[in-house]
Structure 1
Amino acid sequence: MKAKFCYYAAMDDQAAGQSTARADAQVRGAGRGQILVDGIDPFVDLAWVEFVLTGRSSRFVKFDPRHGRVVAIVRNGEMVSVSITDSLRDALASVDREFLDDVASNWRLSGSVSPSPDVSRLADFLKCLAALAEQAIADGYRLYCWKCA
C-alpha cells in the first residue's frame, strides 16, 4: 500500500503541528486547502521540482532548514507532518500554470518519482499545489505536508 500524503497551508510550524490530529480512530491533518495524493513525498520527490522552478541545487534544498522539517509526529510515526520550503512555495505561487505541464512531463521522465505516475496526474497535482501556494502567500501562511503510512 502506498503512503498517503496531504499538502496543506498553516500560519506557522506550531499551527501546522497542532493541526495534525487524531480523531475517531482516523489519523488526519487539518489545515487550509488540503491536497491528498498517493506517493508524492515532499522530502524526496519535490526536490527536483524545486530545482526546476528555482534553480536551487538539491544540495542547497537539502540544507534549507524548512526542507522536510518535522513539525509533528503522531502515534510513534504513524503520521508525520513536515514543512515545505518557502522558496518552493514562492516559486509555485508565481509560476505560469501552463509551464507546470512541461514540468510534470520532465519530472516523470527524470525518474525522481517512483513508480512513474501519469503525466496528467502530476500536472494536476502541481497546479493544485501552485494554487495552494498562491493562497498561502496571500494569507501569510506556509506550506506543509503530512504523511500517513
Structure 2
Amino acid sequence: MKLYPALTQSNFENPNNFKNYVKSARATKIIVDEQGNIHKGETYWSRAYFDGFGLPAQGQAKPYCKKWVSWGCNNLKQHPKNKHYAEHEQKTCKIAHCPKCFESWINRQANRSTRRFSKFAQNKKFNFRHIILSPPPERAKHMSYDDLKKWL
C-alpha cells in the first residue's frame, strides 16, 4: 500500500478543525499544552465584534442542540409490507453563535447563496467568476460596514 504525504501527516485521532476552533475559543492561560490538550477559559477572539458581527460558535447552546429525536407510526395496515414506520433526526438550532450547531448554520447560508446565484444566472448568457475586492487596509480600518459596502 502506497501512502501519500498528506495521509501520513494527518492526525485522525484529534477532532476536526471546527471542533478545535470551538474548544480553543474557551481557553485562557494556556490554549494548548505540550500534549495537545486544550484548557478551559477564554481567548482574545471569543468577544471579537465589528459593527454587530461576531465570530460563529461563541455563544451558548440550547438544551436540544445535537440531540436525537424519533417519531413514527405503528399503523401497520397503511405502510408497505405491513411494517412499523419510524424517522430519526438530529435536532439543530441552526444559529451562528451556537457552539454545537454553527456548522449547520454555515451550510444553510452557503446553500442559500448558491440558490441565489443559480436563480440569477438561470437565463443569462455569461458564467460567474470568483473575484475578491478589497479596499486598501489602512483605509478599511476607519470605514464602517455601510461605508465598506458602498466602496465595493
Structure having the higher helix fraction is 1
Q: What is the TM-score with the length of structure 2 in the denominator?
A: 0.24
Question: Relative contact order (C-alpha < 8 Å, sep 6+): which is higher?
Answer: 1
Task: Answer with 1 or 2: which has the greater Rg.
Answer: 2
TM-score by length of 1: 0.25
